Structure 1
Amino acid sequence: METINHTHEHTHTHPNYHPPNHKRRGWFNNLLNPLRRVVDGIQVNNNRIAHLICQTIPCCCPFERKINLFGRTFHIPALCKLNPLYNEFVGLRFRALSYLADECGEDVTKYIC
């Protein structure tokens, strides 16, 4: 029986194409990488810590607002995505929610928006 060796290469000519998990390079991002690894490395294995994480890290951006001023409505967009550690904090909150729900068997609906 013959073995089939298939190689598949993606060649994209678009200059702004980046794979989904592509991290942008630069001195600022390189400076934050150790902090990102620290936040990603936090293991949630205590229900008190998990509750503290879920209470501290909001489920949605608290800065998005609609302000009525002199009969006009102004929309302030969510600025959380500008936080360079946003994805790491969301991941930490998810790990805490998962620990509470899966390991402790607690109801986490009070932490979900």
Structure 2
Amino acid sequence: MSTASSASNNLTPSPPSRHSCWDTLLNPIRHSIDRLQIQSPRIAHIVCRLIPCTCPFEHHFTLFGNSFHTPPLCELNPFYNEFVSLRFRALSYLAEVCGEDVSRYC
């Protein structure tokens, strides 16, 4: 009976993998962005200026009577979450370590 149950377990298909080939290629880059540490006020200011606080460029427009929608760039950027996290670390560094007012970046 144990051989029959083990044989039936071998016949059940394994669940599909949640990871795509893109994840395999992009994960090392994601991890390297996540490992970046902000240790300089100059670098922190550059990061806060380069990475916007909102998701830009979502537009609705009409061309020749047809309506079009362009998605926000964050939906197209596979590293968006990592960049937002990096920006948050830069803002935290400026506010907590340097004691600066970061309201101009919000």
Per the normalisation by structure 1, the TM-score is 0.68
Give the greater-gyration-radius structure (CA).
2
Q: How well do the aligned residues superpose, as a CA RMSD in angstroms?
A: 2.0
Q: How does 1:1-113 map to 2 (within 5 A)?
A: 24-67=18-61, 76-112=70-106
CA drift of 1:67 comes to: 4.2
* Higher helix residue share: 2
1:68 and 1:109, CA in 2 relative to 1: closer, same or farther beyond 3 A? farther
Query: Residue type matched to 1:50 in 2?
Result: A
Structure 2, unaligned runs of 5 or more: 1-17
Structure 1, unaligned runs of 5 or more: 1-23
Give % identity. Answer: 58
Q: Runs of 4+ in structure 1 displaced over 6 angstroms?
A: none
Per the normalisation by structure 2, the TM-score is 0.73
1:101 and 1:74, CA in 2 relative to 1: closer, same or farther beyond 3 A? same
Structure 1 equivalent of residue 9 of structure 2: none
